[in-house]
Structure 1
Amino acid sequence: MKLSIVVIFFNMRREAARTLYSLSHRYQRGVSVEDYEVIAIDNGSAQPLTPSEVLEFGGNFRYHFHATGSVSPVGAINLGAEMARGEALAVVVDGARMASPGLVWRTLEAWKLAREPFICARAWHLGPDVQFHSMQQGYDQAAEDALLEQIDWKNDGYRLFDVSTIAPSSRGHFPSECSWFAMARSTFVSMGGFDPRFQSPGGGFCNHEFRDRAVKWPGMRAILLLGEGLFHQVHGGVATNACPDEHPGKAFLREYERLCGRKYMTAPVPDPIFSRWTPILGRKIDRHTTTISR
């Protein structure tokens, strides 16, 4: 087992079906079920996923219901890391995010580029604009369902880029929040995992705080995958789908300042590796060349 992928779900059965399919060997290119496992953790949902809904995606899928009253995913993330068996650990904090078809294979390839890699991919919002804007213009789950059916994403997941907008947190030199990251499982444990003190809905800035600790960890080398990504579905998310005047960002910042003793500022990433691929014979071919730039 090379890679364990921990995905957290909370009250998102509609979105979970697409996310899990996008992580299955039916959709992911260049990998087999022996290469990776997917650990789906339901974080105390009122209408939780069932084991059968998860296990139908392959023998490398596992399901766990995390009985908790917490509205933060931090405990579930750390539990998933304890359950993981792979040398590498990938985390998807928000289970509403669908993956591009080469994300798993490209992560395993990037694993070879550094002794202590921290591998991230950019995040995108499905729809014509970032979702806290597009939702005000009528974009909803029904519109998203029609959009996804129109592009036949299951047969060519790279079409997701055609109907998405890059997330604000992914617009800079390196994402300020890694919706997908992978690293050595042993290093995740040595770092103490996610900080359990972050208890805001959705975890607040727990992901930002972990990302900043990771890029500053001794010997860590940040790697950004280009040409792959995660795509956020509308599901009433605490922050991603909140209207601007109702966004909890200020409360998240206050929690961060109280816990960390300083104002939040994104940690710079010195000399990251940018890994991109170029299809040899078109989109649907599984063989690619990889170009590394710094």
Structure 2
Amino acid sequence: MEGEGGVSKSVAVIACTAMTLFYVAILYSPTLILRLPPPSSLKNFMIRRFICAVISSIVSVVFCALILPMRSWEVPLLFGAYGIRMDHIWHAVVFPLSLTSLMYAGSLVLKSLLLVNSWKEYKSMDGGLSFNCIKHLPQKFLGWMISIASDILAWRNYVVAPLTEELVFRACMIPLLLCGGFKTYTVVFLCPIFFSLAHLNHSMEFYSRQNCSLLKAFMAVGLQLGYTVIFGFYASFLFIRTGHLVAPLIAHIFCNFMGLPVLFSRRSGMVTVAFIAGVVGFVWLLFPLTCPDLYNDRTDHCRCWHGYCAWN
């Protein structure tokens, strides 16, 4: 496929806007268009949305493939355009995950302190560390894993939402914008705008469900939008630098699991120190751990789709 002159900037922006609107609109199609009765439970409601999100992702992938100037429809080349690759897969998992965890150094330290305190309280109540306690640890861990696997909200936060959003807002949109002639830095800052617009519908849902003021709803969603924009910058950066979809995907799952980073704690100053050290480490390692040479066999003078060999 060619990376120059295949798509105009206006076509790329219109296509990205259309995919954004379709990703949101299809979520409401079961009741507004198909006239289906309201779901009887949260599980049925979420399953409907899962199906809609998957359909939206498939349509966006096909729509994007028809617009992109593909030279060949071979499966490896087609998947590679979306960053779906098996080569350097461990690099694309370990390095971005390690980099992302640095921003959560304060959160990880706080969780460790809480775990140690609860462990000390348990030991003081039980009179020491018994063999039965150690023996039941695997069972407790297995029970925790089963509870997570059976939680419909966990499937949304850790599977469906990250996978479909990264497919649409990174794998589909970034190649279109790059092919449209936008510079890599422009794409990093432009792509999250579409990503944040797709979350505007949460303001009305929050307003209708919580029965709160419209101002409070917009403030809550404004905080969420700010977070999604910042994460969108980072995810787009990872995708362009590595050429791997799994890189922003694993970061997305980890961020959803951790929530907002903890900046400080009244219990211990170690949390603040860890957060600052994590931020410093993140900035220091951001470019070295996302160096294109770590994720691709050859980057010199290549006709790579994601533009990493043109990155300065």
> TM-score under structure 1 normalisation?
0.30
Q: Which has the higher strand share?
A: 1
Of the two structures, which has the highest relative contact order with CA contacts closer than 8 Å and spacing of 6 or more?
A: 2
Structure whose CA Rg is larger: 2
